[in-house]
Chain A
Amino acid sequence: MFDIDRWGEIFQSMSKNKLRTVLAGFTITFAILLFTILLGMGNGLKNTFQTFFSRDAENAMFIQPNRTSKAYKGYQSGRQIEFTNEDIEFVEKNYGDKITSLIRRNRMHVDFAYKNEKDDYELIGVDPGIQFLEMSTPFKGRFINELDIKKKSKVIAIGRMTEQDLFPKGISAVGKYINVGGLAYKVVGVFTDPGGDNEERLNYIPITTFQNIYGNNDDVHQINLLYNPKLSTEQAITLGNNLVKDLKKKHTISPRDQRAIRNTNRAEVVQGTGQVSAGLDMGIFFIALGTLIAGVVGIGNMMVYIVKERTKELGIRKALGATPKSIIMMIMLEAFFITSIAGYIGLLIGTGVVKFMAPLLEEYGIMNSNVDMGIVIFATILLMVSGIIAGYLPARRAAKIKPIVALRDE
């Protein structure tokens, strides 16, 4: 196989028959190129699909108390359940090891005003962890931090749209004071949110400030949390169920009351989208497989043609003493060489095109097109093996033809 003379023969045959070599290689290059591009676009589609469901962190839970719907242990149904800081401590104590961030979230609608502009916005008191749960990014200034919580500061992080609505163009809100329901809050930052315009009209203040000013109590409207991302989807769903069960027990709610505490667990959504993703994967798989099969058939055709074209040459070689094995090796090594080089070129161009296309496709809503190198390399190897097998069958036939028959071939 690593005989220099043999490779010399092969390189000569390839370089002296450039058109044939290029045509054979083109089939492979094109198959790998198409495969890579299709795979890249398919992955882009999948990513797009997933981002529809990824406005918030994937490992988030939102636990919301409501009115009870069942009478239980002397309590009538219809009782309003309320969380307090104590419930947060309870969750922290029992589930702290599975939770990376525990967030209190209170909300109300208030009029915001800056100079002459005035409108109604949602004011939310939170712990700083909300930034990661909502995946908000402060692009000016900063977010609410622990020091704000401790000092119960009257500071506010406003959404990008809030700033756009209230502040004149070109004026940064950071450092300005805005009137929130009659109280002055200092804007410390402006954030963007992948949830779009609506979530960019939310405005965050420290939860302690909220509790202190609006009610002077320790009420918590909603418990948000980020669970440890290492938990599997099933473990996360169990965690959510257990949390609700314990909270029900603590608040003396019937275990069968489905309304009193509602948990929106992203893990359950992930499970659902996972199935759709799997469907998309299947689709991509079949398209890619089809492309590959077309490539394999292409190589097969090409090899049959090459052997046919060379029949006479092979006959001459046999008359001069070439053994069947040396004929087969010559054809197959050539096939192997052409497919590997051509496949590699297709791989390079394909990944290049996908990289180049990705930003253009984003304008059409196909996000983050990319290819898994491992899969593309696997496809290239598959085509190489196919090329060799496709080369083997006609090569064996050629090696079996009697030289006299081959020599007669014109």
Chain B
Amino acid sequence: MIEIKNLHKSYPMGKDSLHVLKGLDLHIKEGEFVSIMGSSGSGKSTLLNIVGLLDEHDEGEYFLNGQKIEKLDEKKAAVLRNKFLGFVFQSFNLISYKNALENVALPLYYRGTSRKERLKTAMEYLDKVGLKDWAKHLPSELSGGQKQRVAIARALVSRPKVVLADEPTGALDSTTSDSVMDLLKEINREGMTVFVITHEEEIAEQTDRIVRLKDGVIISDEKVNKNVKA
């Protein structure tokens, strides 16, 4: 699903440049539940941005769903994001003036789905995350956990290949964190590839595979929890 070979990324900082990713190799197969662990500055967010087509890599190769990603213009990137990727952000990133249902329906709007169809589908996914009764509420009227559930419904509504979650529990207390992780586990069980970025050991431990990143290189890549899943 996601194949990365010798990936490099650096950011220009004045005259110098900051080398963030120093040759990563990573292969994530369809249906995996992977977490990237690392402290801040380890390069994990940069990796997610590249995987999520929100940023471009400098060197190396990146295949998404078998398609080589290189020299994408904004329009192609937008279409690929819409088709293959669902995002869950730490700060939820819901549009403040749209209610839960409209937020969930937005990716379908950019896909060109009819209004009736996309509101119907959006409602199904809101139901799936247990927020059917909150469909008409604005994000400001929802709790943090509810917002993240809405964001997850939004990530799923376009039936992507991969859900990318950037510190999905970073802004939540431990109880709501657990419920959000349970939701991610559930969608993974249904066959979705889930890619989580976190710096919390407890979160990473709930996934099937932990990739540890330090200073732009992978220091370990281990499968865990096989027994739990079984």
Report which A residues bind B (CB closer than 8 A).
4-5, 8-9, 12-13, 16-17, 312-313, 315-326, 399-400, 402-404, 407
B110, A326: Cβ atoms under 8 Å? yes
B97, A12: Cβ atoms under 8 Å? yes
B109, A325: Cβ atoms under 8 Å? no
Residues of B43-88 whose CB lies within 8 A of A: 49, 52, 54-55, 74-75, 78-79, 81-83, 87
27 cross-chain CB contacts under 8 A: A4-B115, A5-B115, A8-B115, A12-B97, A12-B102, A313-B95, A316-B94, A316-B95, A318-B74, A318-B78, A318-B81, A320-B82, A320-B107, A320-B154, A321-B78, A321-B82, A321-B83, A321-B110, A323-B75, A323-B110, A324-B74, A324-B75, A399-B74, A402-B55, A404-B49, A404-B55, A407-B89
Q: Which residue of chain A has its CB nearest to the CB of B157? A: A320
In the complex, B27 has a CB within 8 A of chain A:
no
How many pairs, one residue from A and one from B, have CB atoms within 8 Å of each other in the complex? 69
Give complex CA distance A120, B158 in Å. Answer: 101
A17, B97: Cβ atoms under 8 Å? yes
Q: Which residue of chain B has its CB nearest to the CB of A6? A: B109
Query: How many residues on chain B are close to A (CB under 8 Å)?
Result: 28
> Given contacts A13-B97, A318-B78, A402-B55, could you give 4 more A-B pairs where the C-beta distance is less than 8 Å?
A4-B115, A312-B93, A319-B52, A400-B74
**Closest-CB distance, B56 to chain A (whole angstroms):** 8
A9-B109, A313-B95 known; A322 vs B78 contact (CB < 8 Å): yes
Give complex CA distance A5, B52 in Å. Answer: 27
Q: State which of B78, B81, B109 has its C-beta within 8 Å of the C-beta of A5.
A: B109
Q: Which residue of chain A has its CB nearest to the CB of B86? A: A320
| Complex contacts, A402 vs chain B, CB 8 Å | 54-55
Q: Which residue of chain A has its CB nearest to the CB of B81? A: A321
A316, B97: Cβ atoms under 8 Å? no
Give complex CA distance A313, B94 in Å. Answer: 8
Give complex CA distance A332, B4 in Å. Answer: 39
In the complex, B101 has a CB within 8 A of chain A:
no
